[in-house]
Structure 1
Amino acid sequence: MSEALAAVGTAGTDTTVPAVPGARQFWRRLRQRRAALVAAVVVALLVLVALAAPLLTALEGQDPTTYHPTLIDSARGGVPIGSFGGVSADHWLGVEPQTGRDMFARLVYGARVSLGVSLGATLVQVLVGVAMGVAAGLGNRWVDLVLSRITDIFLSLPLMIMALALLAVVPDGFPRPVLVALILALVAGWSTMAKMVRAQTLALKNLDYVSASRLSGWSTWRTAVRELLPGLAAPVITYAALLVPSNISAEAALSFLGVGVKPPTPSWGQMLTSADVWYQAAPQYLLLPALALFVTVFAMTVLGDGVRVALDPRAASRLRVGTGRKREARAGTPVAASAPQTVSKKEEGA
């Protein structure tokens, strides 16, 4: 019944809720966006490197925590011995200044921390945000009011102050990457997700097929699972894809300021913390983690934009520049001549 009512509702009314494409249509639209495909390959390689970090460091014969004092020049303040930061067959990207720890091992293990924290925080943000948003949208006026005010309170909390406060009361034995992921999820991200889901739920619950399911005696939980969640899939997946690079940047910022992941656990943001005093003597110590962060965030952002457009083809891509001119050039229509031709037709009709 709900499927028939959905077809009638979409045929006779105009709604602002985008239609959710099927899996085949989604992959077909995503494959048409070459930038998104390249970004997906880059993200897949980064995830593969993070998962295979123990194997890669075993192939190199190093680990991220072992000190190599013989590979640094103590007379010069701890600068690595050799060219390019001590690059050799045993140390593929050189060693860390002052400690001599292997840079390649710390980079690949840092990828595990950065990607693991960001993906874990995104998962918690989606779960909490969807639950709060759906509950506020389907609840009565008082439930909506209370949950909306709670969401507004968390939305206004400053991330850095809350991070410092939580780090002061949480025992040192608590795993720091898990703590950073929870701080990012519960303070910085789920409230925006909840407000977006609430707005979509309010739009969806007025459609005919959702109203029919509620009038037929379905419980609120069954209505949410069977009728609302499929309609929320597109905006939730889109926003989650854009949350991942934001969480990566936030984790790097917390580690850079000294309130994130602590040594000896490697992290890209933590590596940047002490790299500012070595950028002249050992520039690779600054450039390598900064480049890794840039590539990861840029690839995640491009992939998130491609997912957004593939799920909602009516939305124009924010990264599309000059596509209309390229399409007209391929069709053989001069761009400059198209506008006067349109004007002349209007003048003839007048």
Structure 2
Amino acid sequence: MSEALVAVGTAGTDTTVPAVSGARQFWRRLRAQRAALVAAVVVALLVLVALAAPLLTALEGQDPTTYHPDLIDSARGGVPIGSFGGASADHWLGVEPQTGRDMFARLVYGARVSLGVALGAMVVQVLLGVAMGVAAGLGNRWVDLVLSRITDIFVSMPLMIMALALLAVVPDGFPRPVLVALILALVAGWSTMAKMVRAQTLALKSLDYVSASRLSGWSSRRTAVRELLPGLAAPVITYAALLVPGNISAEAALSFLGVGVKPPTPSWGQMLTSADVWYEAAPQYLLLPALALFVTVFAMTVLGDGVRVALDPRAASRLRVGTGRKREARAETAVPVPATAPRSVPEKEEGA
């Protein structure tokens, strides 16, 4: 984004100073929130691990689908041989009970599935929600009524029941991660986004510059692209950031129920499906995917809240006003100590 030049007149002379760009203001507000910065680093590391999953597993010398029957104790029901679930130099986090598949390889490839499904569903949710919300807000009374009722129907749909029904009737040959992402996008998320965008569009439509563009003969499409979408960017980005952790949790729940991602494709929710049987004999089989899910969802939620505050000037001003009031209150309650005692003035003697 190029910086605008603002002319400021001071003492009869005009000086030109660069205005701070919107991206720079956003970054400055985000940096002021330490929790959001830590969450952003965690999310960046998770994305990096997901992208580099083939490289990391090649560095370990393992893959997520190869069975290692020699590393499990069949006499004990398939418990991994050795301490910490069979962790060693060849298997950094141990192996999976009954199958002997490498846990580290399955975790990093599971990150690809979980993040890929969540981000893919979020993109479809944003596109569909923005399109429906802007169309309802800019359309006439009947268009608004029809689109709003369709949105209300999808808002009232129970996600898990609809997802279970749709996943049960789709053929097994369809790529399962793509199917889960589409179902999450079409059943949940976009309808709430559409209602939020519609409300924002109705508020922006009453502003002077939007009314002027419509009165000048611009089409609804041109008005939406040139005038409304820039004003909708902040709330849409904020809501999109908060959609990702919900999508991750929903994908894990579907995989846990056995209707999500199918084996041998690794998934954190799928790993938790049979982990409750092994939590005493091999606790890492339960703790590792559960910890990965918790850290990912928590970091995404904190980052989404930080993005909301950074994109909302009113929230930033409230923070500044609150800080200033606290500083003033502390200054008022503090009792100043004089450096030197005040000099007394002698009284005038009588008759002087």
| Short-chain TM bin | 0.7 to 0.9
Query: CA 1:168 to 1:214, structure 2 compared with 1: closer, same or farther past 3 Å?
Result: same
Distance (Å, rounded) in 1 between the aligned partners of 2:233 and 2:90: 48
Contact kept in structure 2, 1:61 and 1:90, CA below 8 Å: yes
Percent identity for Structure 1 against Structure 2: 93
Distance (Å, rounded) in 1 between the aligned partners of 2:221 and 2:211: 14
Distance (Å, rounded) in 2 between the aligned partners of 1:171 and 1:43: 34
TM-score by length of 1: 0.86
Structure 2 unaligned spans of 5+: none
Query: CA 1:331 to 1:75, structure 2 compared with 1: closer, same or farther past 3 Å?
Result: farther
Query: CA 1:35 to 1:89, structure 2 compared with 1: closer, same or farther past 3 Å?
Result: same
- Cα shift at 1:9: 23
Match of 1:280 in 2: 280
Query: CA 1:70 to 1:347, structure 2 compared with 1: closer, same or farther past 3 Å?
Result: farther
Distance (Å, rounded) in 2 between the aligned partners of 1:344 and 1:127: 84
Distance (Å, rounded) in 2 between the aligned partners of 1:331 and 1:222: 53
> Runs ≥4 in structure 1, deviation > 2 angstroms?
1-21, 315-350
Distance (Å, rounded) in 2 between the aligned partners of 1:314 and 1:46: 31
- Cα shift at 1:202: 0.3
* Counterpart secondary structure, 1:289: helix
* Counterpart secondary structure, 1:339: coil
Query: CA 1:162 to 1:328, structure 2 compared with 1: closer, same or farther past 3 Å?
Result: same
Contact kept in structure 2, 1:78 and 1:98, CA below 8 Å: yes
Q: Which moved more, 1:333-342 or 1:311-320?
A: 333-342
Query: CA 1:142 to 1:266, structure 2 compared with 1: closer, same or farther past 3 Å?
Result: same
Query: CA 1:330 to 1:343, structure 2 compared with 1: closer, same or farther past 3 Å?
Result: farther
Contact kept in structure 2, 1:3 and 1:209, CA below 8 Å: no
Distance (Å, rounded) in 2 between the aligned partners of 1:349 and 1:316: 68
Query: CA 1:2 to 1:62, structure 2 compared with 1: closer, same or farther past 3 Å?
Result: closer
Distance (Å, rounded) in 1 between the aligned partners of 2:144 and 2:206: 16
Number of equivalences: 350
Query: CA 1:203 to 1:103, structure 2 compared with 1: closer, same or farther past 3 Å?
Result: same
- Cα shift at 1:169: 2.2
Distance (Å, rounded) in 2 between the aligned partners of 1:58 and 1:69: 21
Distance (Å, rounded) in 2 between the aligned partners of 1:89 and 1:337: 68
Distance (Å, rounded) in 2 between the aligned partners of 1:296 and 1:187: 23
Contact kept in structure 2, 1:197 and 1:236, CA below 8 Å: yes
The higher-RCO structure (CA 8 Å, 6+ apart) is 1
Q: Which whole-Å deviations, capped at 9, do the CAs of 1:292-329 have from their partners, x for residues lacking one?
A: 01110111011001100000032379999997898689
* Counterpart secondary structure, 2:313: coil
Greater helix content = 1
- Cα shift at 1:349: 42
Give the aligned CA root-mean-square deviation in angstroms: 8.1
Distance (Å, rounded) in 2 between the aligned partners of 1:54 and 1:125: 29
Contact kept in structure 1, 2:275 and 2:286, CA below 8 Å: yes
Contact kept in structure 2, 1:119 and 1:244, CA below 8 Å: yes
Distance (Å, rounded) in 2 between the aligned partners of 1:251 and 1:347: 94
Contact kept in structure 2, 1:180 and 1:260, CA below 8 Å: yes
Q: Which moved more, 1:132-141 or 1:15-24?
A: 15-24
Q: In terms of Rg, which structure is larger? A: 2
- Cα shift at 1:171: 1.4
